[in-house]
Structures are given as structure tokens and as C-alpha cells.
Amino acid sequence: MSSSFEADLTLSRPYLTRKQITRAQKNTVSDLRSYSQKKLVIIKYLSDMCVQLKLPRKTLETSIYYYERYHLFNCFETELIYLLATSCLVLSCKQTETLKKMNDICQVSYKVRKINTVTLDMMETFKKRICQSELRILEACSFDYRVNNFLHTDEYIVKIGKKMGFERRICHLAWLIGYDILKSDILLIVPPHSIAIAVLKISFELFKNHCSENMNWFDVKYSDFETTAKLVNEAYFEIINFYINSFDICDLSSNVPKDYPHIGIESFIKLKQKAGRQKGSIEVSNDDIERDLYLTNMRSMNVRERRYVLSAKLVVDEFTSIRDSSSA
């Protein structure tokens, strides 16, 4: 009863470079400006939802990753963003083991959006459509549940900060920065533990001139934390650039306690000047990007069998076996 038809085989690539993201968005986002504006609205919406539902930062972070990831491979449609974001939150609750009933999430969603008259029909349709989007979101992530499973930026800021022996205020400031960066694209580029280290580095440097900390940042061995200087640098510059370019949309200045050093846009410009040119970027060449079907091809949901694997070896083995059998 075996059948033969066309199928897609996709190797999971949970993190992409800045240029790769731009290339993928070329297919899905026609108006980048509107996408960015709406993203801020959605992050506000998801943050409000998480506060109302008493969900931790990791659930918020995961839902934002899903939202951004979805739009790398699926068209951005302004009228669907709330539905999609809610679906991302539902999924993220499951992924991070912070379960909430779908009904509760939907009710809070209406409340947060200040929609007061909700009929039973509306609710049912909303729930149904949330379920329909779930699998689409997971497909955009290649069903790679390793991402956002054990690692979450906020938790690792605390853990790594403690391991490095930083004082509480440095970790707290890093944790505040950790919220702002959800608005950048960094979640798509670098894994959370590397982001956590970069954020700690920034917080450490912002404090450095104001306290008697003896420790030098460069004593930190990145391999102890299963990351590399390249990745941490990538996150470091991405975040600094984000603050320099978008300081006015950040929540940092309104949340930093009074006894902390003053932090303004100039603080980040200064950090950038001190750091010099960005070394060891993870970026790839334009040619390679244009040759990369993963980014240039729109996903077709019409392919009957769409397979997702995590192991590169499986893809290579299968490629070799198909090539051998067709040449035989």
C-alpha cells in the first residue's frame, strides 16, 4: 500500500542571521514599517496578557519567538495579528509547562483588547481558529521543541549572573534589559543563554564606572556556558544597536531604580565606541543567501507530505540514498 508522491524534507534551523531574516521576510512582509509597528503593539498585548494571567517572562519570550518565527515563512496580515499572537501564547503555555485553559486565555484576550460584548459564537470561532494556527506556528519552527525548552533568557540571566558572582543590581538591570530586547529580532538570531550573557555584559559595563567591582569581564570563559565569543558578540552588538536606534520605544529608562547609574541613549553610544568594530560576525554572504531555498522559497502548504528533521545526518543519508537509487 506504499504510495509515492512529492514531499518536502526540512532540516530545522532554529536561528538565522540578520541578513537571512531580511531575505525570508522579503517573501512574507510587504511593508516592514507596518510589521515593526504592529510587532510593538503585539508585544504590549502579549505582555498585558501575561500580567493578567500571571505567566512568567519565559512564556512571554517563547510566544514572541513563535510570533516572529511564524512571519518568516507565512505572510504578515494585519487583521490576523491578535488571533495569531493569542495562538502563539496558547502554544507557549504548553511549551513552557505554564498551562492555562484556552477559555481563560480567550477571555483575558477580549478583556485586554477592551472588547466587552463577547457572544458564545465569537468565543467558539476564536478558539477554533487558535487551534488551526497552532500547527502552522509549529511548522514555522520545524517542530523543533528543543528551542525554548530548557533555556530562557531571564532564568539564565539569574543563573549565570549568580555563577559569575555579580551583585544583585547588575542582574536586576540585565533582567530589565532582557525585557526590552524582546522587541528586537535577537530571539531569532541567538539562543537565550548567549543573549543572557550579552545582556549581563552590557549591564556590567553600564555599572562598571559606578561601582568598585574588581572583576574584569574578559575573565569570562564562554565555553563554560556552552557558547562562543562570536555568538555573545553578535547579541551584544545587536542589543546595543537596538537601543541606539530605538531608545524611545524602550521601557528601560522608566523602570531603572533611582539609585542606579543614569542610563540614556548616550550610554549605549559610549559602549559602542568603546567596543570598537564588531569582530567575528556570524553573517553569511549574499550569494549563499540567494542560493538558500530555505529562505527564498515560499512554503507551500500544498505539498502533501512535509517532513521535519533535526539531524543533518538524516538529510544527507537520505539524499545519498535517493541519488544512488536514481543513478543505479
Partner 1 sequence: MSESNYSKEKKVGEGTYAVVYLGKQISTGNEIAVKEIKTSEFKDGLDMSAIREVKYLQELDHPNVINLIDIFMAYDNLNLVLEFLPTDLEVVIKDKNILFTPADIKSWMLMTLRGVYHVHRNFILHRDLKPNNLLISPEGLIKVADFGLARAVPGPREMLTSNVVTRWYRAPELLFGAKHYTYAVDVWSIGVIFAELMLRIPYLPGQDDMNQMEVTFRALGTPTDKDWPEVSSFAGYNKLQIYPPPSRDELRKRFIAATESALTLMENMLMMNPQTRWDTIQCLESEYFKELPAPTDPAEINIFAQKA
Would you tell me which residues interact with partner 1 (CB under 8 A)?
1-9, 90-91, 94-95, 97, 99, 101-102, 127, 130-131, 134-135, 138-139, 143-146, 149-150, 155, 304-310, 314, 317-319, 321-322
Shortest spacing between CB 147 and partner 1, in angstroms: 10
CA dist list (Å): 317 to 7, 161, 210, 303, 308: 16, 42, 56, 22, 15
- Shorter beta-carbon distance to partner 1: residue 168 or 323: 323
What single letter denotes the amino acid at residue 159?
K
Indicate the burial class of 325 (C-beta count within 10 angstroms; 0-12, 13-18, 19 or more): exposed
Give the closest residue to 242 by CA, choosing from 185, 196, 173.
185
Indicate the burial class of 13 (C-beta count within 10 angstroms; 0-12, 13-18, 19 or more): middle
- Shorter beta-carbon distance to partner 1: residue 130 or 271: 130
Give the closest residue to 155 by CA, choosing from 188, 185, 199, 189.
199
Shortest spacing between CB 67 and partner 1, in angstroms: 16
Q: Is the CB of residue 320 less than 8 Å from the CB of residue 22?
A: no
Shortest spacing between CB 234 and partner 1, in angstroms: 25
Q: Around Cβ 125, how many Cβ atoms within 10 Å?
A: 12
Shortest spacing between CB 314 and partner 1, in angstroms: 7
Would you call 14 helix, strand, or coil by DSSP? coil
- Shorter beta-carbon distance to partner 1: residue 5 or 218: 5
Q: Is the CB of residue 49 less than 8 Å from the CB of residue 108?
A: yes
Q: How far apart are CA 68 and CA 24, in angstroms?
A: 11
Shortest spacing between CB 97 and partner 1, in angstroms: 6
Shortest spacing between CB 268 and partner 1, in angstroms: 32
Shortest spacing between CB 146 and partner 1, in angstroms: 5
- Shorter beta-carbon distance to partner 1: residue 118 or 309: 309
- Shorter beta-carbon distance to partner 1: residue 9 or 29: 9
- Shorter beta-carbon distance to partner 1: residue 91 or 202: 91
- Shorter beta-carbon distance to partner 1: residue 284 or 316: 316
Give the position of cell 526590552.
180
Q: Is the CB of residue 61 less than 8 Å from the CB of residue 181?
A: no
Q: How far apart are CA 268 and CA 241, in angstroms?
A: 8
Give the closest residue to 30 by CA, choosing from 73, 75, 63.
75
Report residue 163 as a C-alpha cell: 555563577
- Shorter beta-carbon distance to partner 1: residue 53 or 263: 53
Shortest spacing between CB 308 and partner 1, in angstroms: 5
Shortest spacing between CB 226 and partner 1, in angstroms: 14
- Shorter beta-carbon distance to partner 1: residue 87 or 203: 87
Q: How far apart are CA 316 and CA 307, in angstroms?
A: 14
